[in-house]
Amino acid sequence: MRPLSSITLKSIVLIGAGNVATHLGLSLQKAGFEMAAVCSRTSTHGQQLATLLNSNAVDSLKAVPLNAGLYIIAVADSAIESVSAELPEVEGLVVHTSGIAPLSVLHKHKRSGVLYPLQSINKQVPTNFEKVPILVESTKTRDLEILEFVANELKATPFRITSEQKKMVHLAAVFANNFTNHLYGVAYQLLQSQGISFDLLLPLIAETARKVQTEIPQTVQTGPAMRNDIETIQAHLELLQRYPQYRQLYDLFSQSIRNTNRASTSEN
C-alpha cells in the first residue's frame, strides 16, 4: 500500500440529507475534509445540512460540482441506482453507503466504490465513527486505498469486502442489532406490565454484550431452553398468553436454541 500521506482528497460531495448523510457529513467535516456541496431534493433538509457543514446546498444532481474527489451517495437503497444514473460523469470516485446494494449499481461511473459503516445510525443519538468498522469495496486498488484513508481519518477501522460478503454482514447485523434491540423492547414492555423499571435489566444487557466480546456466543448460551427446562418454558409461555406474537418468538427461540445446542453437541 502506498503511504497514506500520498493521498490527497480535494473535496467531497454529499448526496442525500438523511440520517447517514448527516452523521457521516458531520464526522467528515470534523475530520478536516472540505464538503464541496450537499445535494438533496428536499431543499430544506439539504439547506440545513449544508449550513451545518459549512457547505453549499444544491437541489439537482445536474448542479453538483464536477471536480470533487469523492461523491458519497447516502440515500435510500432503492434510490441509489437512479441517483447514480442521474449524476453526471465525473473524474472523482463515486460511492454509496448501503449494506445491501451491490457495487454494480454504480456501473455508470468509471471509478466506483462502497463505504458502508457497520453501525446503526439514529437521528436522536450522536454517531461516533471511532473504531467503527467501515466496509470498503472497489475494483481499483487505488480507490480502495482512498476509501481506507477516509475511514482512517474518521478513526474508524476499514475492512475490505466483496458485495457478496457485505450482504451477509448486513444480514448478520440485522440479527445482532435490529432484532436484539427489538428483544430489549419486548423486555421493556413485559417489565412495564408489572410496573417494574427497565433499569433493572441494564446490567444484564451490558454483561450479555460484554461476554461475546471475548467468548464465542454458543459457548456462553444459558437459559431454560439451553438446559431443556420444560417446566420453566411452560410457565413462561403461560405468562405470555396476552402477547401472542412474543409467545411465538419465545417458542421459536426455544426450538432454535435447542437445535443449535444439539447440533454443536453432536459435533463434539
Q: Map the footprint of a second copy across residues 200-229, applying CB under 8 A.
A: 200-213, 215-226, 229
Asked if 104 and 49 touch (Cβ cutoff 8 Å), the reply is: no
Q: Judged by CB under 8 A, which stretch of 34-42, 60-68, 84-92, 131-139 contacts a second copy?
A: 131-139
Least separation in angstroms between residue 165's CB and a second copy is: 5
Q: Judged by CB under 8 A, which stretch of 41-49, 65-73, 104-112, 172-180 contacts a second copy?
A: 172-180
d(CA 125, CA 182): 17
Least separation in angstroms between residue 202's CB and a second copy is: 5
By the rule CB under 8 A, 169 interacts with a second copy: yes
- Unique residue bearing C-alpha cell 470534523: 30
Q: Which SS3 state, helix, strand or coil, does residue 111 take?
A: coil
**Which residue in 7, 26, 79, 132 binds a second copy (CB under 8 A)?**
132
Query: What pairs with residue 116 in β-bridges?
Result: 135
Where helices occur in 113-216 by DSSP H, the ranges are 141-153, 163-173, 180-193, 202-211
d(CA 98, CA 268): 39
CB atoms within 10 A of CB 47: 16
Contact track, a second copy, 137-166, x by CB under 8 A = ----------------------x-x--xx-
Considering Cα of 168, then 174, then 180, then 186, what sign does the dihedral take? negative
Question: What part of residues 19-48 is at the interface with a second copy (CB under 8 A)?
Answer: none
Least separation in angstroms between residue 60's CB and a second copy is: 25
Q: Which SS3 state, helix, strand or coil, does residue 66 take?
A: coil
**Which residue in 57, 80, 147, 240 binds a second copy (CB under 8 A)?**
240
- Unique residue bearing C-alpha cell 467528515: 28
Grid coordinates standing for 189?
414492555
Where helices occur in 212-243 by DSSP H, the ranges are 230-239
Question: What part of residues 249-268 is at the interface with a second copy (CB under 8 A)?
Answer: 249-250, 252-253, 255-257, 259-260
**Which residue in 85, 183, 228, 262 binds a second copy (CB under 8 A)?**
183
**Nearer to a second copy among residue 71 and residue 250 (C-beta):** 250
Question: What part of residues 50-69 is at the interface with a second copy (CB under 8 A)?
Answer: none
